[in-house]
Structure 1
């Protein structure tokens, strides 16, 4: 099965193509300016060229459904649904936070907490078991303070994502490690996308909406 993977929930605009669980090509760029609208379709074209495939050979689209940047998620979702409608292929959606823990599973951490920077002291976060990857605490929009995650102070914890930079300055977790260089990436969608494809766990394209977690908050021009 050949799957096109799109991840646009964060500062990392990321596109991958896989054949089963084999990564054929990856195109991604982290930008402070959120360049999904400028880069996504160019990256899709480059990834297809790198994988030596045409768009018509793609069997499914997988999408990092969020949470994350409202605009980024809108762009990724609209593109994914457009490809699915045009090619008459299924859509697979995966929690973007979950994909961030894959590289760190089984590395002697009791818990892994992925965090995507929201605004001010807020992050999108969830808590996963460090070995099995099972969800411990549901995804939420969380305002950080000194008491955040204090219930895990006796655990070996890894916090990953650009939101971990805020957390490092505040949290009272003596045995925690922080890695703020990790972003959701299309290459980490592959394993779960293949599993969902085999089980025909597809989204209803007509009614699918990204996992926004909270409503868009615009800023009124002066």
Structure 2
């Protein structure tokens, strides 16, 4: 049994999976609520399924990039449980989990289509990467400022499926290209971690709980409070 945690965006989501199949999950898409609900949701899942923390075999967490605060809350919760229960920690990059979420959600994906998950990084900047329809990485994770020239060379001959809260704000500049397609209202979910979490558990691809940190991609810059 793997407990899966996703807090990289405005969504706070937890799921239980066994043998690569989700058996239960809880989630809410609301800003600044992660710290309040994450442990409540975990307790509710275990209780509803008649399980205890001792029944868990591992903890999987979406490790970023994404919201600084959200990532800290999710990973701190995962590491705390791993320490307390002496269970292994599995880390899955958020953009990769998003790609698998689309692949496993019966979305209509053309064989030559590329998948482009996007996480909002404020203004017109996004965290993004490219994957093929098997979830294999085509382009590494970067922080990109999106304008009318973004992905222009690829979009000449290749359809790209954009999704995530970062993609929503890119429709205005990319949406006129017939090869640019969008999934509206895509939300991150702990259920998207299931396939990679199962694979990593079987391969014993675990993190060092003591030293593991979120994948922020960029340094944190605190904003100034309005006077």
TM range (shorter): over 0.9
Map 1:1-222; keep pairs closer than 5 Å: 2-31=1-30, 33-105=31-103, 107-108=109-110, 110-129=113-132, 131-153=133-155, 154-171=157-174, 173-221=177-225, 222=227
- What is the deviation of 1:140? 0.9
| CA RMSD between the two structures | 1.3
In structure 2, relative to structure 1, the CA distance for the partners of 1:59 and 1:213 (3 Å cut) is: same
Cα separation, 1, equivalents of 2:211 and 2:76: 12
CA distance in 2, matches of 1:115, 1:148: 13
Q: Which runs of 5+ in 2 are unaligned?
A: none
Structure 2 counterpart SS, 1:98: helix
Contact map agreement 2:101 2:191 (CA 8 A) in 1 = no
Deviation by residue 1:16-58 (Cα, 9 ceiling, x = unmatched): 0111112111000111x23111111111111112222111111
Q: Which runs of 5+ in 1 are unaligned?
A: none
Task: Give the whole-Å Cα distance in 2 for the aligned partners of 1:21 and 1:111.
Answer: 24
| In 2: Cα distance, 1:184 partner to 1:97 partner | 9
Q: Using the alignment, how far apart are the partners of 2:48 and 2:27 within structure 1? A: 13
TM-score relative to the length of structure 2:
0.92
For residues 161-210 of structure 1, give each alpha carbon's deviation from its aligned partner in whole angstroms, at most 9, with x where no partner exists. 11111111112532221114112211111111111011110000111001
User: What SS does structure 1 have at the residue aligned with 2:42?
Assistant: helix
CA distance in 2, matches of 1:97, 1:145: 20
Q: Tell me the TM-score normalised to structure 1 length.
A: 0.94
Q: Contact 2:165–2:186 at 8 Å: present in 1 too?
A: yes
Q: Structure 1 CA distance, aligned partners of 2:130 and 2:27?
A: 26
